[in-house]
Amino acid sequence: MRIAHLTPPSATYLIPERSTWPADVTVEDVLVRVDVPLATDPARLTIKDLVYVDAAVTAERAGFDAIFVNTVADYGVDLIRGTTALPTAGAGESSIAAALSAAPSFGIVTVWPSSTQIYYDRVLAATGTAASCTGTRYVLEEPELGEHGGGAGAMAAAHDPGSPIAARVLATALRTVEEDGAASIVLGCSCMSRLTPMLREALDVPVVDPRHTGFEATVAAARAPRAEVAVNPDTTARIVAAVDVWQQLGDSVTSAWDEECGDACAIA
């Protein structure tokens, strides 16, 4: 079984660790063709969703068996399910389901700034779980991203249990439990995956690792009976053609976004 790991080039290191792969499963990166940094308004978020749909179409044409959208924002997940016939799971929806299977409520702790609340609001709405969420707490704010070399640097730091950001994540998670009353914690970015053991040791509530949980959900979806999907080839062709145009814009698009958020602010 081949699973496509949809990712921007800056986050390929977040592919599920090989030690977690079942014996009959392989995982390969399928890169999104256009990186949309900090898509914190509805228009740019729509562009980001379509870029992920485009990557999913690429994966289907390449013969993959399932798709893992390894981001708590679940970019394009519902659209992918209507545009390809491949079983698809998102890290966000999977993590919330896991949290609520272990506890009656959850809080989201994310390394990203409060401007990303649109991502979490959308996932909560899609899963119908807003009433069970005690809130979202943010470790960094946008001015701090530059101090870490942009979004890519912040992600790398959050991936290191020995970093100062990791200590801030722990302090934020403690407040989520003690002040907000969360009975479980959902990590708000797959880049925080390696902090899970430290957090589980320090906290008295379940901590959900979105990378591992989303990957497990993808494997389960791939093994389940498949439903028929009525795919409209014209719709698919138009999405791919749109991303072709965006990709041709190249550095002119990237530079405009870079002025706002640094060298790479992709949210994984």
Q: Where in the chain is the domain with CATH 3.40.50.12500?
A: 104-209
DSSP conformation class of 79: H
Specify the pLDDT at position 222. Answer: 96
Handedness of CA 97, 95, 51, 80 (dihedral sign): negative
Specify the pLDDT at position 258. Answer: 45
Report the C-alpha gap between 151 and 134 in whole angstroms: 26
Write down the H helix ranges in 179-232.
196-202, 210-223
DSSP conformation class of 24: T
Report the C-alpha gap between 99 and 266 in whole angstroms: 25
Domain 104-209: CATH architecture, name and number where available: 3-Layer(aba) Sandwich (3.40)
Please identify every stretch of the chain with a pLDDT value under 70, giving residue numbers as ranges: 148-150, 250-268
CATH topology of domain 2-91+215-261: Rossmann fold (3.40.50)
Helix (H) or strand (E) run with residue 4 in it: strand 2-7
Q: Which residue has the tokens 């072709």?
A: 244
Give the global pTM: 0.90
Specify the pLDDT at position 41. Answer: 87
Specify the pLDDT at position 153. Answer: 73
203-252 residue pLDDT tens:
999 999 999 999 999 999 999 998 777 888 899 999 999 999 988 886 33
CB 53, CB 237: distance < 8 Å? no
Specify the pLDDT at position 226. Answer: 80
Alpha carbon 84 to chain centroid, angstroms: 19
Helix (H) or strand (E) run with residue 106 in it: strand 106-110
